[in-house]
Each structure stands twice: as C-alpha cells, then as structure tokens.
C-alpha cells in the first residue's frame, strides 16, 4: 500500500499483513481508497461541528453583548448555562446505542441534523430561555454525531488506516474550536445581539459541508453482518476496500473474520446489554478503562481552560476582550497541530507510550501554571501573569498527544462489536457527568479560591499516569475482531484471531497455488 512492511506490521499484525495487496501504488493513487478517505474526512468534520458547538461559549463569554443579553451570568447561573449543553448530550447518548444497533450507524447522525436545526432556529429567540433551549438541542445533536460517527469510521476504514483514522476523529474538534474562536473574534465589535447570534447561527455550517460525504458513506459491514445481510456486507468491502475485486484475499479475510466473530458473540450471548459489561474479567477491564478515560479527559485540568478561559485569564490579569478571544483562537490552532501529529503517530509509537507521555507533559505544565498563578495572586506582577499563558499551551500540547485522539478511538477499538456502541456510550456519558460537574463547580471554585483550585487537577494528573501504567494495554497491531485476545487472554470467548489467521493463510496458499499452476501451464 505504498508503506514499508515494518510500519504496516505494527499497525495491523502479521495475519492481516499476509492478505494485504503488496507492491501496488500508494493509497492516494487508487480511486476507491481516495473515495473512502474523502468519506472518512467528511465524517471527521462531525467532531469539528461538535468542537464548534462545545467551544462557542468560550468566545461568547468574552462578548459584552452576550453578557448583557444574559444579564451578566456568574457563578451557579453561568455554570447552568454551560452545563445545559452537556445535559442534552447526556440524554441523547443514552438513546443512541439502540438507534445505532437497530437502524445503522448513519441513522443517529440524521437525527442529529434534525435536532441541530431546531437548536439553531431557537437562536433567534429574544429570551434567555430561548438561548438555553438552543444550547440544549445543539448538545443533543452533538451527542448524536459523537456517538454514531466514530463507530461508522472504525468499521468502514481501510485496515492499515483504521488506527490513524479513529485517532484523527477528535482532532477535528479543534478545527471547529478554531473557527468558533475566530468568528467570535470577528463579530466582537458588531453592535447588539448579532455579535453573538452570527456565531451561534453558524453552528449549522460544518454539518452542512459534511452532509455529502455522509450520504455517500456505506453502511457498516459489521452492522450488516449482525443483521445477517452478509452479501451486502461483502459488496461494501469489495467496493470500498478492493475496488470491486470479487476474489480479493483481503475481503475474504475480512468477511470471514467479521462473520465468525459476530456468530461466536451471538452464540455466547442471547442479547447485548449493559449488564454484560460486568460478567467477565475482560469486560470489567474494558469497563474500567471506558469509565476512567471518560473522567480523565475532563478532570485533568482542561475543563477549566476549555470552558472558562476568560475567567482563567482574568485571574492572571489578561482582561482585554481582544486578547482573550485571540488567545482562545491560537490555542485551538496549537491544539490542532499537536493532536493531528499524535494521530499520525499512533501506529508507529503505540497507544501506551503516548498516554504516558501525555500525562507527564500535562503534569509539568499544570504544576507551573499553578505556581505562576499563585505567584501572580500574591504579588500582582503583570509579567508573572502573562507567563502563565505559554505554560497553558504546553499543558495542552500534552493533552493533545493522547487525550484528544484516544478519548473516543480507544473505547471504540477495545470493545467487541455487540458492546461497542454501549462501551463508547459509557465513556461519553461519564465524560458528560464529569463536564456537568465541572461546569457547575469550576466557575464557583475559581471565583472563591482562584488558583488554589488547580491543585486538585495536579492530583488527578498523577492518578492518570498511574492508571495508564497499570491498566491501559497496548492495542496496536490488532484488528477490531482480535482485541478479545488482549482482554480475555488466549482462551478468549471469541478467539476469532486464531481462526481467521488459519483461514486467511489457507486462502493465500490456495490463491498462490492457482497462480503458480497457471504460470506453469502457460510455460508448457
């Protein structure tokens, strides 16, 4: 596929490497893979949409026009305004697994469009209640996107691209965050409510751009197989992974692996449910990861900066609206650069090293932010306050290395198909609960104890490093169907990896024998 075998082996393992096409042109010179990656890029834009929505409040809080419209919210009231977005998301997250499993991965995304249209329509309301309802519905829409799209991306991606593709998904968040910051910066001097209404209305922009790619995207072959529509699943894989080759060894391998694994899962369990997550040591391990990761991605200190950057900057003496909105915008650009670089490194460096490096950099950055903020509170020196800013950027470089690319990608790949949507939902709902708590507590704590509140997050970052070191396994080099071996051991309940490896070798041997025989006949 245009890459060296060593790097590919790290990404997919020996069994899948054996059936991959060898010696062909690079993926960007193959029309079917260009089409597939256009679809994937379109799907990444849904995290950009969520990033725009989720980051928008940072910019709005810096606008005097919005503060006047909302009667200068502070403390609990400000926390509630921010939290209502995540409350809407929490409700939608609980419904989406049922939608995804019964009606397909794309169905939830279309529901998200409907909810987003309602939310954007409410922006025109002249009441505070209308704005709050708008945030609620937009939060529901964002949850529909985040709980459905990663499943589809993971399940349609080309095997050698899956690790990078899934890690790239949440990197798109910062594209949306950057747009929200710069658009809010651009409207800051508009008189009246249009200063904040224009950025709010533009929440519809990114999903509108992504719509053609979503329509073109195929259904998940794993979902099709789960409904016993194996012929359709094979047709999807032949078209998108093999350019229509009906004799593709890769497609034969994928169909066998998916079919056998889902059949074994179905035989082992009558129906998928959340209670199943507690029944085996492997599932309890997965559940611990899903819950802990959902907490850590919100409680490692980023929540203070992501949603209350204006308040943080106020505490260190940076109070200009222009300065605050520009810092917010450039912070998003910074985050995008580091998260994308990390996403392209996941197969070369592995998940665990990136997690551990992330925890270390965040800890150093946050300790220095805390120390400088405390010093500024004591002496009021402007230079000390400004010195906080570069260390905020260092902290987020650490966050971007692992917490951005893996917060959704890691839960998506560790769970078996039957529990994948529920496993992702557990992580997302845990994050929502953590965010909901943060958005209420953070402004109150910042108002009352200021920089001393940061000490809590230093403790959390130490716990993150220890948790990753002892409980987060490396998943590089395994297909989605092979993850069972990591969590359930060699006697895994769904030992598809071994079965598929034997069958794939048989397929490759038979194909090679046919080719050799044909060459021999031609020579005769």
Tens digits of per-residue pLDDT, 83-120? 899 889 989 999 999 999 999 999 999 999 999 999 99
Q: What does the block give as tokens for 333? A: 């650009």
Contacts of 518 (CB under 8 A, 6+ apart): none
CB 88 within 8 A of CB 134: no
Q: Choose the weakest-confidence range: 54-68, 167-181, 264-278.
A: 264-278
Would you say the pTM of this structure is higher than 0.75?
yes
- Does the pLDDT at position 452 exceed 80? no
- What's the pLDDT score for residue 41? 94
Range of weakest confidence among 143-147, 439-443, 495-499: 495-499
Distance, first Cα to last Cα, the chain: 33
Least Cα distance to 400 among 445, 351, 339 occurs for 339
pLDDT tier, 213 (very low <50, low <70, confident <90, very high otherwise)? very high
Using pLDDT thresholds of 50, 70 and 90, give the confidence band for residue 283.
Answer: very high
pLDDT score of 470 more than 60:
yes
Lowest-confidence pick of 230-239, 255-264, 304-313, 463-472: 304-313
> For 422-436, what is the mean pLDDT?
89
pLDDT, average across residues 53-57: 87
pLDDT for the residue numbered 521? 46
Average confidence (pLDDT) over 279-298: 93
Q: Which of 217, 221, 182 is nearest to 202 (CA)?
A: 182
pLDDT range class, residue 510, cuts 50, 70, 90: low
- DSSP letter for each residue of 481-497: GGHHHHHH-TT-SS-HH
Q: Can you tell me the distance from the alpha carbon of 22 to that of 29, in angstroms, rounded to the nearest whole number?
A: 14
| Closest among 150, 409, 146, 144 to 289, alpha carbons compared | 409
pLDDT of 254 strictly over 70 = yes
> What whole-number distance in Å separates Cα of residue 215 and Cα of residue 458?
44
| Band of pLDDT at residue 314, cut at 50, 70 and 90 | low
**For residues 47 and 404, what is the distance between their CA atoms, to the nearest angstrom?**
11
Q: Please classify residue 198 by burial: count the beta carbons closer than 10 Å to its beta carbon, then call 0-12 exposed, 13-18 middle and 19+ buried.
A: middle
CA distance 297 to 272: 27
**Cβ proximity of 97 and 421 under 8 Å:** yes
pLDDT at 128: 92
Is the pLDDT at 262 greater than 90, yes or no? no
Task: Please report the pLDDT score of residue 265 as a whole number.
Answer: 74
Amino acid 255: pLDDT: 93
Buried b (16+ CB within 10 A) or exposed e, 84-119: bbbbbbbebbebbbebbbeebbbbbbbbbbebbebb
Provide CB contacts within 8 A for 261, sequence distance 6+.
416, 417, 481, 494, 496
pLDDT-derived band at 509 (thresholds 50, 70, 90) equals: low
Comparing 269 with 56, the larger pLDDT belongs to: 56
Lowest mean pLDDT, pick from 348-362, 380-394, 417-431: 380-394
Q: What is the pLDDT of residue 293?
A: 96
Query: What mean pLDDT do residues 138-144 have?
Result: 95
Predicted pLDDT of residue 434: 85
* pLDDT beyond 50 at 335: yes
Nearest alpha carbon to residue 294 among 473, 99, 146, 483: 146
- At the second CATH level, the architecture of 25-245+272-477 is Up-down Bundle (1.20)
pLDDT at 445: 73
The chain-wide mean pLDDT, for the chain, equals 84
Is the pLDDT confidence value at 514 over 50? no
| pLDDT band at residue 303 using 50, 70 and 90 as cut-offs | low
Helices marked H in 269-345: 281-299, 302-315, 321-343
Is residue 260 pLDDT above 90, yes or no? no
Residue 466: per-residue pLDDT: 96
Residue range 352-371: average pLDDT?
90
343 confidence band (pLDDT: 50, 70, 90): very high
DSSP 48-109: HHHHHHHHHHHHHHT-HHHHHHTT---HHHHHHHHHHHHHHHHHHHHHHHHHHHHH-HHHHH
């Amino acid at each position: 596929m245009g890459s060296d075998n060593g790097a590919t082996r790290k990404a997919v393992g020996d069994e899948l490497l054996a059936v991959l096409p060898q010696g062909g042109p690079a993926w960007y010179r193959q029309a079917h893979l260009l089409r597939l990656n256009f679809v994937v890029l379109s799907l990444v834009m849904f995290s950009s949409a969520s990033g725009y929505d989720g980051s928008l409040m940072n910019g709005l809080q810096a606008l005097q026009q919005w503060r006047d419209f909302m009667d200068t919210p502070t403390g609990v009231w400000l926390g509630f305004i921010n939290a209502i977005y995540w409350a809407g998301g929490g409700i939608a997250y609980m419904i989406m697994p049922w939608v995804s499993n019964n009606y397909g991965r794309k169905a939830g995304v279309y529901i998200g469009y409907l909810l987003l249209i309602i939310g954007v329509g409410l922006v025109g309301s002249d009441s505070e209640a209308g704005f709050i309802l708008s945030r609620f519905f937009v939060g529901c829409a964002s949850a529909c996107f985040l709980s459905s799209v990663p499943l589809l991306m993971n399940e349609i991606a080309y095997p050698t691209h899956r690790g990078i593709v899934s890690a790239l998904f949440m990197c798109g968040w910062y594209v949306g965050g950057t747009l929200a910051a710069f658009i809010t910066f651009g409207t800051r001097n508009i008189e009246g409510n249009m200063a904040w209404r224009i950025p709010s209305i533009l929440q519809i922009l990114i999903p509108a751009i992504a719509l053609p790619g979503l329509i073109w995207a195929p259904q998940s072959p794993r979902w099709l197989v789960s409904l016993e529509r194996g012929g359709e699943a094979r047709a999807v894989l032949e078209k998108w992974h093999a350019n229509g080759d009906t004799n593709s060894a890769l497609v034969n391998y994928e169909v066998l692996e998916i079919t056998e694994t889902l059949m074994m899962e179905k035989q082992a369990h009558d129906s998928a449910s959340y209670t199943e997550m507690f029944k085996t040591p492997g599932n309890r391990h997965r559940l611990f990861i899903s819950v802990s990761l959902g907490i850590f991605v919100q409680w490692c200190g980023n929540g203070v900066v992501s949603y209350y950057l204006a308040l943080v900057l106020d505490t260190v003496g940076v109070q200009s609206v222009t300065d605050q909105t520009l810092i917010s915008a450039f912070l998003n650009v910074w985050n995008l650069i580091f998260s994308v670089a990390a996403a392209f490194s996941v197969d070369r460096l592995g998940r665990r090293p990136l997690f551990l490096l992330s925890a270390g950099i965040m800890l150093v950055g946050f300790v220095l932010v805390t120390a400088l903020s405390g010093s500024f509170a004591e002496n009021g020196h402007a230079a000390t306050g400004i010195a906080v800013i570069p260390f905020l950027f260092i902290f987020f470089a650490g966050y971007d290395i692992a917490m951005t690319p893996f917060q959704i990608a890691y839960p998506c790949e560790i769970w078996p198909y039957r529990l994948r949507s529920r496993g992702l939902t557990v992580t997302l709902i845990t994050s929502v609960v953590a965010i909901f708590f943060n958005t209420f507590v953070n402004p109150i704590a910042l108002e009352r104890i200021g920089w001393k509140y940061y000490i809590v997050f230093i403790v959390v970052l130490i716990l993150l490093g220890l948790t990753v070191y002892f409980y987060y396994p490396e998943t590089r080099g395994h297909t989605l169907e092979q993850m069972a071996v990591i969590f359930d051991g060699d006697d895994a309940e769904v030992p598809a990896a071994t079965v598929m490896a034997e069958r794939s070798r048989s397929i490759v041997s038979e194909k090679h024998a046919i080719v050799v025989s044909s060459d021999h006949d031609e020579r005769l």
